[in-house]
Protein backbone atom coordinates (compact mmCIF):
# COMPACT_ATOMS: atom_id res chain seq x y z
CA UNK A 1 0.00 0.00 0.00
CA UNK A 2 0.99 3.59 -0.48
CA UNK A 3 2.59 5.22 2.58
CA UNK A 4 -0.03 8.00 2.67
CA UNK A 5 -2.84 5.44 2.87
CA UNK A 6 -1.00 3.52 5.58
CA UNK A 7 -0.59 6.77 7.51
CA UNK A 8 -4.37 7.05 7.81
CA UNK A 9 -4.47 3.71 9.58
CA UNK A 10 -1.38 4.14 11.74
CA UNK A 11 -1.72 4.48 15.49
CA UNK A 12 0.73 7.40 15.71
CA UNK A 13 -1.26 9.42 13.22
CA UNK A 14 -4.41 8.84 15.27
CA UNK A 15 -2.76 10.14 18.43
CA UNK A 16 -1.49 13.28 16.71
CA UNK A 17 -4.61 14.12 14.74
CA UNK A 18 -8.10 13.71 16.26
CA UNK A 19 -9.67 13.83 12.76
CA UNK A 20 -8.00 10.54 11.87
CA UNK A 21 -10.77 8.53 13.51
CA UNK A 22 -13.39 10.23 11.33
CA UNK A 23 -11.19 9.94 8.23
CA UNK A 24 -10.61 6.26 8.93
CA UNK A 25 -14.34 5.65 9.35
CA UNK A 26 -15.19 7.35 6.04
CA UNK A 27 -12.53 5.44 4.12
CA UNK A 28 -13.68 2.10 5.51
CA UNK A 29 -17.32 2.99 4.76
CA UNK A 30 -16.45 4.07 1.21
CA UNK A 31 -14.47 0.91 0.45
CA UNK A 32 -17.24 -1.28 1.91
CA UNK A 33 -19.92 0.46 -0.17
CA UNK A 34 -17.88 0.18 -3.35
CA UNK A 35 -17.42 -3.54 -2.77
CA UNK A 36 -21.14 -4.12 -2.17
CA UNK A 37 -22.19 -1.99 -5.16
CA UNK A 38 -19.75 -3.73 -7.50
CA UNK A 39 -21.30 -7.07 -6.51
CA UNK A 40 -24.82 -5.80 -7.21
CA UNK A 41 -23.88 -4.41 -10.62
CA UNK A 42 -22.10 -7.59 -11.69
CA UNK A 43 -25.21 -9.52 -12.79
CA UNK A 44 -26.01 -9.84 -16.50
CA UNK A 45 -29.36 -8.08 -16.83
CA UNK A 46 -31.42 -8.31 -20.03
CA UNK A 47 -31.26 -4.88 -21.69
CA UNK A 48 -33.17 -5.59 -24.90
CA UNK A 49 -34.49 -8.42 -27.02
CA UNK A 50 -35.44 -8.97 -30.65
CA UNK A 51 -38.18 -9.85 -31.09
CA UNK A 52 -39.15 -7.59 -28.22
CA UNK A 53 -41.56 -8.37 -25.40
CA UNK A 54 -45.28 -8.12 -26.33
CA UNK A 55 -44.66 -7.46 -30.02
CA UNK A 56 -46.51 -8.94 -32.98
CA UNK A 57 -44.19 -9.78 -35.87
CA UNK A 58 -43.73 -12.15 -38.78
CA UNK A 59 -41.62 -15.25 -38.10
CA UNK A 60 -38.17 -14.08 -36.88
CA UNK A 61 -34.99 -15.59 -38.36
CA UNK A 62 -33.32 -15.53 -34.93
CA UNK A 63 -33.64 -14.45 -31.31
CA UNK A 64 -31.22 -11.79 -30.05
CA UNK A 65 -30.97 -10.99 -26.35
CA UNK A 66 -28.64 -8.15 -25.31
CA UNK A 67 -27.28 -8.16 -21.75
CA UNK A 68 -25.53 -5.62 -19.55
CA UNK A 69 -22.51 -7.89 -19.00
CA UNK A 70 -20.51 -10.40 -21.00
CA UNK A 71 -21.88 -13.96 -20.87
CA UNK A 72 -20.44 -17.43 -20.49
CA UNK A 73 -21.90 -19.19 -23.57
CA UNK A 74 -21.54 -22.68 -22.10
CA UNK A 75 -23.98 -21.85 -19.29
CA UNK A 76 -26.34 -19.42 -21.04
CA UNK A 77 -29.23 -20.27 -23.32
CA UNK A 78 -32.70 -19.70 -24.70
CA UNK A 79 -35.72 -21.96 -24.81
CA UNK A 80 -38.61 -21.06 -27.14
CA UNK A 81 -42.06 -22.38 -26.21
CA UNK A 82 -44.68 -22.39 -28.98
CA UNK A 83 -48.45 -21.86 -29.02
CA UNK A 84 -48.98 -25.59 -28.35
CA UNK A 85 -46.78 -25.33 -25.20
CA UNK A 86 -44.09 -27.44 -26.89
CA UNK A 87 -40.43 -26.44 -27.07
CA UNK A 88 -39.35 -25.21 -30.52
CA UNK A 89 -36.06 -26.57 -31.85
CA UNK A 90 -33.50 -23.80 -32.22
CA UNK A 91 -30.06 -23.57 -33.80
CA UNK A 92 -26.77 -23.33 -31.96
CA UNK A 93 -26.37 -20.25 -29.74
CA UNK A 94 -23.51 -17.82 -30.29
CA UNK A 95 -22.27 -14.64 -28.66
CA UNK A 96 -22.01 -11.31 -30.45
CA UNK A 97 -21.32 -7.69 -29.49
CA UNK A 98 -18.27 -8.48 -27.37
CA UNK A 99 -19.99 -11.40 -25.66
CA UNK A 100 -22.96 -9.34 -24.43
CA UNK A 101 -25.56 -10.47 -27.00
CA UNK A 102 -26.83 -14.04 -27.12
CA UNK A 103 -28.05 -14.94 -30.63
CA UNK A 104 -29.92 -18.15 -31.41
CA UNK A 105 -31.15 -18.94 -34.95
CA UNK A 106 -34.75 -20.08 -35.42
CA UNK A 107 -34.92 -23.12 -37.67
CA UNK A 108 -37.64 -22.66 -40.27
CA UNK A 109 -40.78 -20.53 -40.18
CA UNK A 110 -42.73 -20.26 -36.95
CA UNK A 111 -46.49 -20.79 -37.28
CA UNK A 112 -48.79 -17.99 -36.15
CA UNK A 113 -49.44 -17.81 -32.41
CA UNK A 114 -48.10 -16.73 -29.04
CA UNK A 115 -44.52 -17.67 -28.08
CA UNK A 116 -42.62 -17.55 -24.82
CA UNK A 117 -38.87 -17.01 -24.63
CA UNK A 118 -37.28 -18.47 -21.49
CA UNK A 119 -33.67 -17.45 -21.01
CA UNK A 120 -30.91 -18.08 -18.51
CA UNK A 121 -27.55 -16.36 -18.42
CA UNK A 122 -24.29 -16.73 -16.54
CA UNK A 123 -22.16 -13.60 -16.61
CA UNK A 124 -18.43 -14.02 -17.08
CA UNK A 125 -17.92 -13.23 -13.39
CA UNK A 126 -20.16 -16.12 -12.31
CA UNK A 127 -23.53 -14.52 -11.50
CA UNK A 128 -26.70 -16.21 -12.78
CA UNK A 129 -29.87 -14.50 -14.01
CA UNK A 130 -32.95 -15.76 -15.82
CA UNK A 131 -36.29 -14.59 -17.08
CA UNK A 132 -38.93 -14.90 -19.74
CA UNK A 133 -41.03 -12.78 -22.07
CA UNK A 134 -43.47 -13.29 -24.89
CA UNK A 135 -44.16 -12.25 -28.47
CA UNK A 136 -46.70 -13.16 -31.12
CA UNK A 137 -46.09 -14.37 -34.67
CA UNK A 138 -48.70 -13.03 -37.07
CA UNK A 139 -50.02 -15.00 -40.07
What is the per-residue pLDDT across 25-52, written as a single tens digit (0 to 9) for each?
Answer: 666 665 555 554 444 456 899 999 999 9
Question: Measured between alpha carbons, how far is residue 27 from residues 5, 15, 124, 129 in Å?
Answer: 10, 18, 29, 32
Cβ pair 129, 121 in contact under 8 A: yes
Q: What is the sign, positive or negative, of the torsion defined by CA atoms of 25, 26, 30, 33?
A: positive
Instruction: Kindly tell me the number of DSSP H helices and DSSP E strands found in the chain.
Output: 3, 9
- 93-133 confidence digits (pLDDT tens): 999 999 999 999 999 999 999 999 999 999 998 999 999 99
pTM: 0.70
pLDDT, greater one: 125 or 136: 136
Amino acid sequence: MDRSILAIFSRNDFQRNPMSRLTRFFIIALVSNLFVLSQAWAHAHLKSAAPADKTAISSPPDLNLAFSEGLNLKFSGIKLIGPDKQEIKLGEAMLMDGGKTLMVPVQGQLPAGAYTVEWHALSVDGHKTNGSYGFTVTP
